[in-house]
Structures are given as C-alpha cells and as structure tokens.
Amino acid sequence: MITGNIITDFCLLILFLPLLAFAINIFFGKRLPRQGDWVSVGSVLITLILSLSLLMNMFMNWDANFSYEAQFSWIDLGAFKVELGFWVDNITIVMLAVVALISSMTHIFSLEYMKGDIRYSRYYAYLGLFTFSMNGIVLANNLVSLYIFWELVGVSSYLLIAHWFEKHSAADAGKKAFLTNRVGDIGFFIGIMLIFTAIGSFNFQDVFAGVSQGMISGTLLTLAGVGLFMGAVGKSSQFPLHIWLPDAMEGPTPVSALMHAATMVAAGVYLTVRLFPLFSPEALTIIAYVGGFTALFAATIAITQNDIKKVLAYSTVSQLGYMILAVGVGNYVAALFHLLTHAMFKACLFYGSGSVIHAMHHSLHELHDHDTDPQDMRNMGGFKTKMPITHWTMVISTLAISGVPLFSGFLSKDAILAGSLAFAQHHPQHFLLPVFGFGAAAITAFYMFRLIFMTFHGEPKLPKVFEGIHESPKVMTFPLMLLAGLSFFIFYTLPYFNPISDHGWFTELIKAGDSVAPGNPTAHEIYDGVHHAHYPAMALSLLVAGLGIGLSYLMYMKHKFSAENWARKMGFLYKLSLNKYFFDENYNRFLYQPLLKLSRAVAYLDWDLYDKYFINGFGRVTNLLSKITGRIDYDGLDQILVDGVGRSVRRLGKQLKQVQTGRLQNYMLFALVGLIIILVIQTI
Amino acid sequence: MEDIIINNLDYPVLTVSTFLPLAGALIILFLKRGPFIKWFALATTVATFIVSLPIYKHFDKTTYKMQFVEIHSWIPAWNINYKVGVDGISILFIILVTILSILCVSVSWKAIQIKTKEFYISLLIMETAMIGIFLSLNVFLFYLFWELTLIPMFLLIGVWGGSQRIYAAVKFVLFMLAGSVLMLVGIIVLYYAGGKTFDILELAKVHYPTELQLWLFLAFFAAFAVKMPMFPIHTWLPDAHTEAPTAGSVILAGVLLKMGAYGFLRISFPMFPHAVKVLFIPLLILSVIAIIYGAYVTLMQKDMKRLIAYSSVSHMGFVTLGLFTLNQNGIEGGMLQMINHGVITGALFLCIGMIYERTHSRMIEDYGGLSKSVPVYIVFFTIFTLAAIGLPGMNAFVGEFLIISGAFKANMIIAAFSILGVVLGVCYMVWLYYRIALNEINTTTQASLFDLDSREIATLIPLVVLVLLIGLQPNILLSYMHVSVEHLLEQVHNSVQLESINAYDTINSIAGYIKALFKWV
C-alpha cells in the first residue's frame, strides 16, 4: 500500500528523473558512451515502473474517491502567495501511466529510428524535457503550475518539431506551432487571472469552492471558462487554431506519436476535464460546438490527404474534437476514457507509419533516390507481405479507432456518442452535436481503412522501391505489438468481460464529480441520460462504422468505384478538402499579412514620421529660432544699436575733428567768442 | 530620527561602495596606457562588488527603515546634507549595478581598441554615479548624481559608438536635459514648499496642497518618464542603444532605464500620492500603449541591436504598468521586472555585441543557421531568448505574472490588453531566433564566425545563473522588498482611498488643473 509521503516521493521522482536526464544529456550527452541515450531510456523506464506501481496501488485500493495533495510555497508576498504542488487522484494516476508508457515506447522506438542522427543526444535530452513538463501538467494542483508546465510543453514541442531545423519547413512548423499555441494561451492566461482576481487563489479546490459560493458567476464566469478553454483550443489543436498540428508532422515520427498524438495534444482535453466543475452552461455549449465541429471538419480533410502522417494528424485533430465534445456535453469521464484508449491506438498507428517511412527511407536510400516522397501513400501499396507485424498491428489499431466491437475505441467512442445523443434529447436545439459525432465516426472509418488499403494492400506502385522494403527491427516492432495489444477491450473492462459495455475498472474508479457552476445538471443526471442513450447510440455507431469501412473496401480494395472519378465529380469539395479549406492561405492573407503591415506601419510611424519630423522637428524649430534670434541679435541689436552707437560717436568725432585745425589764431578766436558769450550771459 | 538606522558597521559601507569606482578612475588617470589598465578596471569593479556584499548580509528585511545611513553636513547655508542610506526598494539595484559593471569591463576587453584609458575612466565614473543615485537620501545629492550620469554616457556613445554616434549622443543628452531641467525646477519648489530641506525622508512627510502635488508630479514625471522611457518620449532610446558600444548598451538598458522607475518609487509616490492617484488611469493606459506599440515597432526591426532596443520600450511598459497599479503585486512585480530586464536585455546586448565583434554586422539578414555554426553561443542565446519571452521557470515570467495579476486587480480591461503585449513579445523574439539560429547557414558572415572563448562564456554564465535563480526561487529577491513596498503603499494610500477617486473625478480634476493653468498664465 502506498500512502502519504511515499506518494509525494514517487511523484517527485516521476517528475524530476526525466529532467535530470535532460540536464545530463544537454551538457554531457555527446561525451557519454552511445551519446547518452541509455540515460534517457533508463530514467523514463524508472518513471514507468513508478507510475505502474501507483496504478497497481490504485487497483488494490479500489477507491473512487482517492485524493492526495501536497504543496510548497513558491512566491510569497505575504498577502499574495503562490503555492505549487501535486494533486494526485485516480485521474492523475491513469494519466501518469499513459505518459510514462508512451514516453518509454517512444524512447525505445527512437533507438533505431533516430540512429545516426546528427543531434542524437540533444533529441533524447528534449524528450526528457517534454516528459518532465507533461508530467508536471498532469500532477498540477493549481492553475499556476498548470500554466508553467503548459508553456514548458510548448517549448519542448517547439524544439522537437524544429529538430531538423536546417529544413526550412521544419523550422517554419516549429515557429508556427509555438506562436499558434501562444494565441490560445492569451485566453488561458486571461482566464486564470479573471478567476484569481475574483477568488484570490489558484488552487483547484479553492477555485471550485469559490465558484460554488458564487464569488464569480454570470458572464464573468463564462468569460473565464471560455478563456481557459482557449488554452485547450491551442494545445489540443481545435478549430480555429488547428493549423499547427498537421505541420508539426515535420518533426521526427516518434515525437509525433508521443506528443502530437498521445500526450501533449491531449493536455488540452485534460485541462478541460480537470477544470470541468467551473465551466458555466454557456461555456460548455461553446466547448461542445467547437469540439463537435472540429471532429467532423478535420475528418473531412483527412479523406483526401496522401501523406500518411498528414492523414493521421488530421485524424488526431478529429479525435481530440471528440473528446472536447464529450466534455462539452458533460460526459467528461468518456472524454478521459477516449483519451486513454486513443493514446494507445493512435501512438501505435504513428509508430506503424514511422515503421513504414523508415522502411521506405532505407529502400530509397539504397536506390539513391532522393526525390520520391517516402511518406506519400501513392508510392506504397502491397507492403502487407513485406512488413507483416507492422501491417497487423496497424490493422488492429485501425479497427480500434473505427469503433469496431472487441476493440477499445468502440467502448470509448460509444460513450461519447451516447453522451452527445443524450444531450440532444434534453436540448433538441443542439441536434447538430450528435450529427457531428456520428458523421465524423463514419468518415473516420472510411479514411483509416483507405490508409490501410493504400499502404498495405493492392499492387505495389513503385516495384523497385517495394523490393527494398523490410520489416523494421525488434526495438521498433516491440512498441507496436505492445500498443496493439492494449487496443483490445479487455484491458479497459476488467474485471468484467462484456465487450459491448464500457463498464469496468475505469468507470468504477473514475467517477464524475458534480459541476459547481450554477445551472449545470448533476453528474448523476448526465450519467442517467447516457445510460438511456447507450443502445441507440451503439446501434447507430455500428451502422456508420460499417458504412465507412464498407465504402472504403469497395473503393480502395475492390475498386468498384473509382476514387478519382468521385474526386472529379465533386471537384470543388475535393479541392476544399485537399487544400484543408484554405485555412493557411486565409490566415496568411487576413491575419498574418495585416499584422506585418500594421507593425510595418507602426514602425514607419515611429521612426520615419514621429522621430524624423516631430522629435527632430524640435531640433529644427530650435535651429530656426536661434537663427532668427541670431539675426535679430546681430543684424538688429549688434549692427544697428551697438554698432550704431559706435558709428554715431565716430561720425561726431569726424565732424568735431574739423574744428581742431591746429592753428593758434583760430583757437584764440574761439576763446574770445566764448569769453564774450559768458560775459553776456552773466550780465543778463 | 526614528525612521533611519545609522550605519553600525565599522566602515561607511555605502560611501565606500559609491566612491570606490571613482577612486579607481582617478588612479587610472595617472597610469600609463597599456593592458594593465583593463586589469585595474576589472579589479576595481570586482572590489566594488565585494565591498558592497556586507550590505546584503547585514540588511534587516523586517523593517522599512533606511539602513546603513550616513549623514554629514555639507552646505549648511542651504541645509544640504550628504545623506545616504539603503532600503528594500534600492538594495537590489546596487547589486545589479555592481554585477553589470564587472560584465561591462569584461565584454569590452577586446572590443575597445582606441582610447582604452578614457573608456575605463568613463565606465568607472558611470558606476559611481549610478550607485550614488540609488543611495542618495537627499534630493540635491540625487540630482547631482542624476546629472553626473550624463557626462560619461555622452562620451561612451559619442567616442566609442557606431557610425551615427554623434547624432545619437547629442540626442540622448538633449532628451535627458529637457527632462531634468523641469526636475530641477521641481526640486527648488519642493525645497520651499517642504520647509527648506532637501532631505527625501523629511519631504515625504509633508502633505502638499493637491494642486501643487500635481505640478510637482508633472515636473518630476518629465525627468523620470524620459529616462524610462515612456511612450511617447522614447525615440532617443533606439538610437542611443544601437550606437553605443556593447558596454554602453548594457548600462543603458540595465541601469539607466531603471533610474526613472526608481525616481517614481523614491520621490513621486511618497511625496505626491494624490497626484499619482488622480493620474492613475491615464498612467496605466500610457503603459499599455507603450507595451503594445513598442512590440509592434520591434517586430519590424531589421537590425538586431535596434530590435532589442525597441523591445525595451515594451518591457519598460510592463514595469510602469506594474508600478502604477499601486498594489503590492504590481509594484513588487514591477521592481522584480526591472532587475529581470536588466539581466535579460543586458545579456542579449552582450550576445549581440559578441557576434558583432566577429562579423561587424548587426543585420538579421546576414545571419542564419547559427545553431550549427556556433553551437555554444546559441545555447546562451536560446536561454536568454526563452527568458525574454517569459518562459516559466525563468525570471521574466515571475515579474510579468506578478505585474499582470496586479494589473487585473487595478483594471481588468487594461490588464487584458497587456497580455497582447506578452504574445507580441513572443512573436518578435521567436521570429528573431528563427531567422538567425535556425535554417541553413548564411554564408555572408560564416567565414568570420567562431564560437565563444572562455572569457565570453564567463561573462554570460553569471547572467544565466541569475535568470534561473530568480525564475525558480523569486523569494530570494522578493523578500528584500516586502516591508518597504508595504510601507510605500501605506504612504500612498493613507491620505485618500484609491476607490474614492473614480474616473469622473479624474477627468474633472484634470480639467480643473488646466483651467488653473490658464488663469495662472
């Protein structure tokens, strides 16, 4: 039994071991044997063991209300305190296990995939930094820690996407991911501050208590909720900030599996789940619509993509939309459930695509062909015989994501669809939400099987390349097999064996809490609704999944319909989908370019107008003034007045000079005249 | 004299710290030209740093009173004393000055080739003036040091600067003088209004008439706002920063800009609380304009040094935003952010200076792929870039976080706008990083590039340590401030409650003052 301080110790170890690996590898990685990869792999395997023992402990306790909190002070201004800490409950434990598992698999998979990379040790260092930050998000017990690790995750994602930064597209994608995430974080930060200003604490429990006491309510609460959700929109790549995730596929494929499929992008979902109690009904409606729309919207893009990783990327966006939709309709346990199952099968799909790309790379490398795109599915076909393990594991995870019974995705997807259906039954005006959900389910089944058929079945498109294709080595197939195994229903329904009901350890141990925001239904009411909608939803979801798979089979296996013909017939829609609805172009034209123009204008205003004319104008005016005063002073005062005095004195002197003749007779005459005048005056 | 604690160490620690660099400068005056001079300058700055250390060791964090105070009669006829002391508001600036001065000598080691003797003399005089400002407890003395900074700075820019140095130096001095002339008028009025004393602590106890407060505030504001610089009197800054030698830029960004903010805290807030509260909203708005406007202008700069210079406008906007919130989060955040800005922007100027020394180009377009060509350099550059954008775990995050949380308490809408500035800050820094560090290697400057040597690494490491230390354990610095800031807030708020002055009053009183002005004219 693990309790109290030991949990704190475990959490600290889980948190800081990957950071230690990061520090060791970033400073000494290159000097260590094998460039230090064993340091990272070792540390992450230890965290896996620790996380699994916490998970075992959870099973042994079997306590749905388990909760543990530990914290220490970080900023202390007396009245204003920020405390960082852990909040460990069953949700945390499950998430820790997911992060540790997928992270370990990625570390192992990369041993072969990244072999010979020029920045091998740095790659492993960044993986450690990511694992540290992701665990930080999971463990956070307050909004500040959450935000701190949120940003750190963003940075490690940036560093890993731009790992091959010599490639222009990779450097671009990193920048795009970072900035797009930051846009979402504006809202996140405003939300945090609104809540803090109203309630005066960052701690989750205090915040929930504050909301239930009505310290923040009405529009302000909705605003705060939408703000916080904006963070999730950025990180979980929801519409309209979904643009960065497909580009992020420029990063190494194991990174895509770990961060851009299983864990980091799920952080947004985790955030909404954690903060679910404080969302107001209005905020939840917005959340539901954003999620539902994203689910359908991204699925329609995935249909036409030819890059194997791009298909998976849009599929991830779509699946994350599902989870967000589930939170929005109040069924957040289902969201978390789908997060868990999705992490397994989506990581498996990404490793599978990595395995295919790896094989393509080697084959092309041997042919000295540097022009053929190793990720384009139009260059593949028939790989089934050459790569049996990759093929079968990918088929299993595809069945899971399509929602076929006996597989994990069926259970979680069904719960989400039932939730949206129940929500629409209560609020008929929101009938669009289940339409989004079921529509996306049909399309998902279609494009995922399209991927399988195009890659593994049919005739090889490039026979020469096909010759060189080999199954990947064991370090790469092992994670594939493990995760494919975890895509079966049994691991999620234990101790029960009913493949069509999600009832199991997960639903028993992870209980939905009531919302504290006024106006929301209780967890019990939501659960009841979901329960009632369960069977209709299941029937419908089976139907749509069958439709999608069937259509895909006929189109890409049997070639009953020609995909090209359909594309031509629906030219406009096809183009929209292929070009991702022109989002990048429009953002560029309507947001990015105007921003640049605006800053250019402001810079021009500041420097070329304000400084040159106004500020330097002071100088010029002063110059002018001094010139004028100079002229007045010199021409006026000096030349006329001052010199004028001199001139008149001189003139006087000149005139008086004439009197001074030097002749004695004249002087005598003057003296005589003067004497006479004086005498005359005296006598009068 | 109950609000001061007389220096009880066995030597006058503040006076020694202040004038040791000046003494060093005087000795250098009589030394022969040669490499020995820079060693001597380095020794002087290190000695100053060491001499100032007891201040932190013996500083009493539990009191707001001035500590280590020294009083000597100076000009008795006008009641002018030589009075110095340190409290929680000024203490951190001392360590900032002393550390940055050491780094400034170190970074100039090879960069300054002409008139080295004069250069180090100017640098050391500058250090004395800067420390003096933060320690003065007498307005007259304060003004003296304030003006003393101009002369060495004028020389640093005008003699050792870039191609436009004369223009930049003249512009700098004219801007500064325009501001400080008004401050001089303010000081003289204050002298008579406050009972014929120049003592800062005495002057802060006087309740000045409301109208007089406003005029005095504006007079001092002129000097402080130019130094900060606040929008719209900021355009001296890009020129001065860009043209100054690296050491000059570091001092300008690291310390000179903070003198204005310190002036607000030491003089404006305690002496003119009513005026501050009347102008509370306009000042906040001005700060947010500086944040956003500065960020936009920064985005478009093509010259790295100019880019960092303009980013200072935005960052100092955050500082003023914090100060003018008039609450504890904001002011402590603002003060912390001043230190952070000194560290980070100082570091970025050092980084750019180092690369400029090699390639003689500051243009962004001349660089690319530095991650590959100079890997050690880029490690430091990455750290400082991340710090500048406010990554959690690094120092600027704590400052911005405190400021914004304070601003939300003061005014939610204004605070929400300031967050836009944070995002724009990420944009320009990430874009700069993307252009110079990532992508293919740029061949224009490739030939002359080589990685950092151990002197340069040693110059940057203290700043990395500060970035992480403040980021992870902000309490180390914040604990010095608490009591003094609380006392300051008491001084500001004890006369009138902030809430009682609403926007209507603000507009009304401003209109009243303008009317009064016309009558007076």
Q: Which chain B residues are Cβ-neighbours of A626 within 8 angstroms?
A: none
Average pLDDT estimate for A128-138 = 91
CA distance A538 to A531: 11
Residue A593 within a domain: yes
Domain count, chain A: 1
Domain that holds residue A651: 585-682
Q: Which chain A residues are Cβ-neighbours of B401 within 8 angstroms?
A: 75, 144
Residue A7 within a domain: no
Question: For B439, which of A149, A165, A182 is closest by C-beta distance?
Answer: A165
Whether residues B299 and A155 touch (CB distance < 8 A) is answered with: no
How near does any CA of chain B get to the CA of A171, in Å? 6
Q: Are B176 and B129 in contact (CB under 8 A)?
A: no
How near does any CA of chain A get to the CA of B40, in Å? 34
Whether residues B423 and A185 touch (CB distance < 8 A) is answered with: yes
Mutate to test the interface with A, among B176, B395, B438 (most CBs of A within 10 A): B438
Residues 6+ apart with CB under 8 A from A535: none
How near does any CA of chain B get to the CA of A199, in Å? 11
Q: Is A589 exposed, middle or buried (0-12, 13-18, 19+ CB in 10 A)?
A: exposed
Whether residues B404 and A186 touch (CB distance < 8 A) is answered with: no
| Residue-by-residue DSSP string for B123-166 | HHHHHHHHHHHHHB-BHHHHHHHHHHTHHHHHHHHHHHS-TTHH
Q: Which chain A residues are Cβ-neighbours of B296 within 8 angstroms?
A: 598-599, 602-603
Average pLDDT estimate for A657-673 = 82
| Residue A242 confidence (pLDDT) above 70 | yes
The sign of the dihedral angle between the CA atoms of A129, A135, A141, A147 is positive
Question: For A77, which of B299, B332, B404 is closest by C-beta distance?
Answer: B332
Whether residues A144 and B401 touch (CB distance < 8 A) is answered with: yes
Amino acid at A641: L
User: ipTM exceeding 0.90?
Assistant: no
Nearest residue of B to residue A167, measured between CA atoms: B439
Q: Are A529 and A423 in contact (CB under 8 A)?
A: yes
Mutate to test the interface with A, among B379, B420, B427, B435 (most CBs of A within 10 A): B427
**Phi, psi for B303 (deg, rounded to 5):** -105, 125
Residues 6+ apart with CB under 8 A from A81: A73, A75
Q: Which of A46-55, A491-500, A641-650 has the lowest mean pLDDT?
A: A491-500
Question: For A78, which of B372, B434, B482 is closest by C-beta distance?
Answer: B482
Question: For A615, which of B235, B397, B416 is closest by C-beta distance?
Answer: B235
Cβ of A663 under 8 Å from any chain B Cβ?
no
Q: How high is the pLDDT of residue B518?
A: 65
**Start-to-end C-alpha separation, chain A:** 142
Closest Cα to residue A27, out of B464, B388, B474? Answer: B464
Q: Which chain A residues are Cβ-neighbours of B300 within 8 angstroms?
A: 596, 599-600, 602-603
Closest Cα to residue A454, out of A546, A563, A548? Answer: A563
Average pLDDT estimate for A646-668 = 83
Distance of CA B513 to the CA centre of its chain: 31
Q: How high is the pLDDT of residue B514?
A: 67
How near does any CA of chain B get to the CA of A241, in Å? 15
Q: How high is the pLDDT of residue A294?
A: 92
Q: Which chain B residues are Cβ-neighbours of A241 within 8 angstroms?
A: none
Q: How high is the pLDDT of residue B262?
A: 92
Work out the pLDDT band at A68, boundaries 50, 70, 90: confident
Which residues in chain A (176-215) have CB-CB distances under 8 A to chain B? 178-179, 182-183, 185-186, 189-190, 193-194, 196-197
Strands B80-86 and B66-75: antiparallel
Average pLDDT estimate for A69-79 = 76
Cβ of A504 under 8 Å from any chain B Cβ?
no
Question: What SS3 class is residue A246?
Answer: helix
Q: How high is the pLDDT of residue B142?
A: 92
| Residue A199 confidence (pLDDT) above 80 | yes
Which residues in chain A (345-374) have CB-CB distances under 8 A to chain B? none
Q: Which chain B residues are Cβ-neighbours of A162 within 8 angstroms?
A: 438
Q: Which of A63-77, A662-676, B42-56, B101-115 has the lowest mean pLDDT?
A: A63-77
| Residue A54 confidence (pLDDT) above 90 | no
Cβ of A119 under 8 Å from any chain B Cβ?
no
Name the residue with higher pLDDT: B470 or A527.
Answer: B470
Q: Which of A102-116, A273-287, A581-595, B83-97 has the lowest mean pLDDT?
A: A581-595
The angle formed by the CA atoms of residues A167, A168 and A174, to the nearest 5 degrees, is 95
Closest Cα to residue A465, out of A582, A584, A383, A552? Answer: A383
Structure-token pair, residue A149: 């690790």
Q: How high is the pLDDT of residue B375?
A: 84
CA B303 vs CA A282, B299, B352, B361: distances in Å: 48, 11, 10, 9
Cβ of A31 under 8 Å from any chain B Cβ?
no
- The per-residue b/e assignment along A117-152, b for 16 or more CB within 10 angstroms, e otherwise, is bebbbbbbbbbbbbbbbbbbbbbbbbbbbbbbbbbb
Work out the pLDDT band at A86, boundaries 50, 70, 90: confident
Nearest residue of A to residue B472, measured between CA atoms: A74
Q: How high is the mean pLDDT of chain A? A: 85
| Under-50 pLDDT residues of chain B | 1, 497-504
Name the residue with higher pLDDT: A640 or A480.
Answer: A480
Question: For B369, which of A166, A183, A598 is closest by C-beta distance?
Answer: A166
Q: Are B154 and B97 in contact (CB under 8 A)?
A: no
Question: What SS3 class is residue B326?
Answer: coil
Residue A615 within a domain: yes
Residue A444 within a domain: no
Cβ of A72 under 8 Å from any chain B Cβ?
no
Q: How high is the pLDDT of residue B127?
A: 92
Residue A274 within a domain: no
Q: How high is the pLDDT of residue B505?
A: 56
How near does any CA of chain B get to the CA of A87, in Å? 20
Q: How high is the pLDDT of residue B495?
A: 63
Q: How high is the pLDDT of residue B321?
A: 93
Task: List own/partner pairs for A552-560 with CB under 8 A and 24 or more apart.
Answer: A552/A445, A552/A446, A552/A447, A552/A448, A552/A449, A552/A450, A552/A453, A553/A449, A553/A453, A555/A450, A556/A449, A556/A450, A556/A453, A556/A454, A556/A457, A556/A458, A557/A453, A557/A457, A557/A458
Longest dimension (CA), chain B: 70
Distance of CA A238 to the CA centre of its chain: 9
For A440-478, the pLDDT digits (tens) are 888 898 889 888 888 888 888 888 878 888 888 888 888
Nearest residue of B to residue A185, measured between CA atoms: B423
Residue A595 within a domain: yes
Residue A34 within a domain: no
Nearest residue of A to residue B331, measured between CA atoms: A77
Length of chain B in residues, anyone?
521
Whether residues A165 and B419 touch (CB distance < 8 A) is answered with: no
Of all helices (H) and strands (E), which one includes residue B69? strand B66-75
Closest Cα to residue A163, out of A248, A46, A289? Answer: A248
Residue A204 within a domain: no
Which residues in chain A (596-615) have CB-CB distances under 8 A to chain B? 596, 598-600, 602-603, 606-607, 610-611, 615
